[in-house]
Amino acid sequence: MRFVPLGHMGMRLAKLACQALTRDLVPGRLAALAFACSALPMAHGASASPSVPARELQVADYRSYLPETHSVRRALHAFAETVQDRSHGRLRVQVLPGTVPGRPAEQIQAVRQGGQGVPHVMLLAATGLADLHEDFALFDLPYAVPTEAQVDAIMDGEQGGALLSRLPPLGLVGLGWMENGFRHISTRSTELRTAGDLSGLAVRTLPAPASTATFQAWGARPVSLPASRVHEALRSGAVEAQEGFVTSLLQGRLHEVQKHLWLTGHSYGAQVLVINADAWRTLTPEEQAWLQEAAQAASRQQRIWAREEVRQDLDSLASLGMTVNEVSPEMVEDLANAALDVRRQSKRMHNFTRP
């Protein structure tokens, strides 16, 4: 079959056809067609400037408050730059400053469906993806993946690929793994020297089943709260302690209402860079390769930067008056053993984690 370039009138008719089709399509197909139609200017051949990209994707994080110096923002910009370099400008990624409105579940659903105002690519927390497929709860399980070396082995190996393969039937394609890092426990006044010190303690936990079950197994009183309500709950004394990331203590100014940080490292916050599956299918194999390679490189670099951030933030917290405490190997072992049943909640997890 022989293809001929579209003339001026042909281009106009093609664009009008795209506009008509997008009005009638269901939301799940809308983003994909709009993305495909964005390539029409390049189909005109000689009239298109080599400096104008054939297509443009948008990428966002599930949070809108991170500074541009944060490891995630830096990695998203690195991802965009690498895509442009490898494609020689034929594929461009715009890093959005904001995010998709709504709770995590609503954000995920929006990206799955696509549509007006929704980025094609988005960084999502694996905790939220666990609502779509239980395997993504792996990292939230207590001491399931206790070291950075194990994290990297899973994310960069066959196991990480196997987890991402769960996504296409759900309307998403996984491009790479980033991180928030390990979760620890902070307290206002209580000292945690043994696993028994958690007994009866009111702890703000992640709004996720694995987190609630973990602290129940430790004898604590878990209180699930969204991040926006944590500072007030700690300030008022509604809860005495919280679990979270080192970086979150600074971002949320929790050092103002917490005195002690206990480096339990009891669970891990994974993040997944995904693309709408319909938009992915409009890409050529070459374009898909550019996107995948750039995403994986940026994801690996983000994890390196994130771990540097944690070390810097620990120093900052100490300078702000928090006591930063290592916990004993015996306490870690006791916590891990007490949460054994939680860790075994999914039979599939035996392929990835300690027993």
pTM score, whole prediction: 0.83
> 167-196: buried (b, 16+ CB within 10 Å) or exposed (e) per residue?
beeebbbbbbbbbbbbbbbbbeebebeebe
**What does the pLDDT read at residue 2?**
37
CA distance 6 to 25: 25
Please state the length of the chain. 355
φ, ψ (nearest 5 deg) of residue 2: -105, 130
**What does the pLDDT read at residue 179?**
98
Q: Which of 205, 245, 197, 244 minimizes the C-alpha distance to 223? A: 205
pLDDT tens track of the chain, all 355 residues? 333 344 443 444 444 445 444 444 444 454 554 455 554 443 333 333 455 446 999 999 999 999 999 999 999 999 999 999 999 999 999 999 999 999 999 999 999 999 999 999 999 999 999 999 999 999 999 999 999 999 999 999 999 999 999 999 999 999 999 999 999 999 999 999 999 999 999 999 988 899 999 999 999 999 998 888 999 999 999 999 999 999 999 999 999 999 999 999 999 999 999 999 999 999 999 999 999 999 999 999 999 999 999 999 999 999 999 999 999 999 999 999 999 999 887 544 545 544 3
CA distance 240 to 230: 11
Domain ranges of the chain: 29-39+52-134+144-351
**What does the pLDDT read at residue 3?**
35
Q: Residues 133, 166: contact at Cβ < 8 Å?
A: yes
- Given the structure tokens 């950075």, which residue do they identify? 148
What CATH class does 29-39+52-134+144-351 carry? alpha beta
CA distance 132 to 112: 11
**What does the pLDDT read at residue 225?**
87
Q: How far is CA 261 from CA 29, 317, 321, in A?
A: 47, 9, 11
CA distance 248 to 163: 26
Structure-block tokens of residue 289: 């390769």
Q: Residues 149, 231: contact at Cβ < 8 Å?
A: no
